[in-house]
Amino acid sequence: MKSDIIIIGGGASGLMAAIGAAETIFKNGITASVTLLEKMPRPARKIMISGKGRCNFTNLKDWNDFSAHIRSNMNLVRPAFYNLTPEKMIRFLNENGLETVVERGDRAFPASHSSFDVVDTLVRTALRNGVRIETEREVTDIAFTESSKYKFTINCKDGTSYESAGLIIATGGLSYPGTGSTGDGYRWAEEAGHKIKPLFPSLTAIVPKGYKTIPENMIGGKDIKGHIDRSTPLSENGEYLCGIQLKNVTLTVYNDGNEIQNEFGDLDFTDGGIEGPIGFEVSRNCVKTIINGGKICVSIDMKPAVCMEVLTERISALWKEISNDSRSARLNFKEKYRILLGKLIPWDLITGFIKCNPIPVSKSGNKIKDLNAAGVSGLAAALKGWKFDIEGFVGYERSVVTAGGISPDGIIAKTMESKFKKGLYFCGEILDTDSDTGGYNLQTAFSTGYLAGISAAKNIAKD
């Protein structure tokens, strides 16, 4: 079966590549076909689960601010970004029937807060533009030839074979393999002469030491150093912390005792470990450091707006207030201490906090009846610097994005075309460019995909 342009992969970048190619073919008034091959029963499975199903599909920052959130090879993304900016992406969705809203942090969502509506809009638009979408078409291998116009032969697992003049590989990375992202495209890129930068999971949970019940023979991970499968059971401490959300805290990361990152915002304790916005922000550094043999420790400042001296005075005053309250007369130290913590941290965090930061005792080791100066300063220090040694991280099974990928050295950024194979294009997560959470990765996928599609169609038009 022949098709002028074939896209392998029906995710965010693949769908936008198909749309960009089809639109460009129409505008140029040429007769050409566009076919999208998707291995799963439905396209865009990963979009469906993005943003916990709400789909934060872009971020309305200008390039200077947007690029600050791209963690590798921002120059590869720049031409694609300007070709399809976040504003243009929103306008594109609006014009194709999807209402959108912009929320805190310049993050854009479908007004329905349903990722399915984003997927339906993209699929409907592709079909309306004449794209042929074939699902359950798992590509097994690609043959390259220069002997004819149709220089790419694509073979599928079911025995189907295709030939195309232009080929766009948009197969994604390794994250969330259940959505179809199993890294197939990296092999085909290597066969075409491209270098693959080391791959590792990013925007994932980091796992504190003692948070999970890990057998000795599993520490360090079987596939990637430091990988701890999300399904590993929680320890007692993990059970106490799981489900806790912290607002407006500071998370500091240390590599072998040296500070390497500091983020302010919200974090979550989950069944995976430390996640949430700032947990994800630091995960890239944590994962990369652990893989390279470094030792990671993180510190949570629960009171970043208050200095140590002021917090110490506040704790002392609160303790006096509680001790002098007639209602406390019959309470033991532990009960009063919990009341004190309830005035400083969320109630549902108290037990977990005490488990990790035991109630102070006297120097002799006996239980104390009062909170002395040392106890007050110790509590203040714990609130300002709640430390966790990080044992590992959740792997591709639940990481949002794959870091690493096809080296930009082999890609023409202005077109997304391969420098080694004319008519071959790459886009989306398969490229060595990953970003922070907040709509940046999806926008990059949309932009690079759209540019690849336009470029492939223009190339066909020339021929």
Please write the tens of the pLDDT for every residue from 393-420.
Answer: 999 999 999 999 999 999 999 999 999 9
The answer to whether the Cα torsion of 13, 15, 20, 25 is positive or negative is positive
The answer to whether the Cα torsion of 200, 202, 207, 213 is positive or negative is negative
DSSP codes joined into one string, 271-318: SSSEEHHHHHHHHHHHHHHHHTT--EEEEEES-TTS-HHHHHHHHHHH
Q: By mean pLDDT, which of 8-12, 52-56, 213-217 is the weakest?
A: 213-217
Q: By mean pLDDT, which of 69-83, 215-229, 436-450 is the weakest?
A: 215-229
Structure tokens at 83: 């070709």
Phi, psi (deg, nearest 5) at residue 331: -85, 145
Please write the tens of the pLDDT for every residue from 148-190.
Answer: 788 999 999 999 999 999 999 999 999 999 899 999 999 999 9
pLDDT, position 138:
97
Q: pLDDT above 70 covers what percent of the chain?
A: 96
In CATH, 2-199+405-462 is 3.90.1300.10: no
The answer to whether the Cα torsion of 228, 230, 236, 240 is positive or negative is positive
- Please determine, for residue 31, whether its predicted confidence score (pLDDT) is greater than 50: yes
**Separation of CA 89 from chain center:** 20
Please write the tens of the pLDDT for every residue from 367-399.
Answer: 556 788 888 999 999 999 999 999 999 999 999
Contact 10, 44 (CB under 8 A): yes
pLDDT, position 147:
72
What's the CA gap between 212 and 268, in Å, rounded?
16
* Residue carrying structure tokens 């979408």: 133
Please write the tens of the pLDDT for every residue from 95-149.
Answer: 999 999 999 999 999 999 999 999 999 999 999 999 999 999 999 999 998 777 8
- Please determine, for residue 218, whether its predicted confidence score (pLDDT) is greater than 60: no
pLDDT, position 248:
97
What's the CA gap between 387 and 390, in Å, rounded?
9
pLDDT band at 365 (very low <50, low <70, confident <90, very high): very low
- Please determine, for residue 241, whether its predicted confidence score (pLDDT) is greater than 90: yes
Please write the tens of the pLDDT for every residue from 320-346.
Answer: 999 999 998 899 888 999 999 999 999
- What's the Rg (C-alpha) of the chain? 26
Please write the tens of the pLDDT for every residue from 47-57.
Answer: 999 988 999 99
Residue type, 126: A
pTM listed for this prediction: 0.94
C-alpha distances (whole Å) from 396 to each of 252, 438, 449 are 24, 19, 23
**Separation of CA 132 from chain center:** 30
- Please determine, for residue 216, whether its predicted confidence score (pLDDT) is greater than 90: no
Mean pLDDT of the chain: 94
pLDDT band at 265 (very low <50, low <70, confident <90, very high): very high
pLDDT, position 383:
97
pLDDT, position 214:
81
Q: pLDDT above 90 covers what percent of the chain?
A: 87
Surface-to-core class of residue 231, CB atoms within 10 Å of its CB (0-12 exposed, 13-18 middle, 19+ buried): exposed
Tell me 355's DSSP state.
Answer: H
Residue type, 192: A
Give strand pairing partners of 245: 268
Please write the tens of the pLDDT for every residue from 282-297.
Answer: 999 999 999 999 999 9
